[in-house]
Amino acid sequence: MQQGLVFFHLRGVGHRDFSFENTLVNHFSKAHSEGEHPRRKKLRKDGLLCYGLFDYNASMFMPEGPRIGEFRLPSAMSEWGRYGCLTHDTDQGEYDYDPFAYDVGMMGRVFCSESQVRGDS
């Protein structure tokens, strides 16, 4: 998933709605809880489980000119995305925010939440 986010960011695209619900893998199963499915575990171990990001209705393209780290959006726009998965990094009254850093924060929140739910595996 990190590679996918890097891919987008290098092309000036901010996802802005990074959540576990907006990811998919190349192994079909009946439920989200099938993470420990023997076939999926083997695919992951062999490096063959591929992850993808989808749901781009909140994503944005950075305009020509600014570089990543310099581009900012109004802080009110940080609330666009999946309710309950936001990092609340702009709740202290900031006027603007870096959508690329926010994506990384949202990814960290997803990884933290999943490790707390599933434990170390």
One digit per residue, the tens of pLDDT, for the chain of length 121 reads 888 889 999 999 999 888 878 888 888 777 555 557 788 888 889 999 888 888 888 889 999 888 888 999 998 888 876 655 666 778 888 899 999 998 998 888 888 887 887 665 5
Q: Residue 71 has which token pair?
A: 């581009």
56-70 burial, b if ≥16 CB within 10 A, otherwise e? eebbbebeeeeeeee
CB atoms within 10 A of CB 44: 16
Full domain range(s) for residue 39? 2-118
Provide the angle, in degrees to the nearest 10, between the axes of the packed helices 99-118 and 2-10: 170
Task: Give the count of domains, the chain.
Answer: 1
pTM of the model: 0.76
Q: How far apart, in Å, are the Cα atoms of 99 and each of 16, 19, 116?
A: 7, 15, 26
Q: What is the CATH number of the domain that holds 81?
A: 1.10.510.10
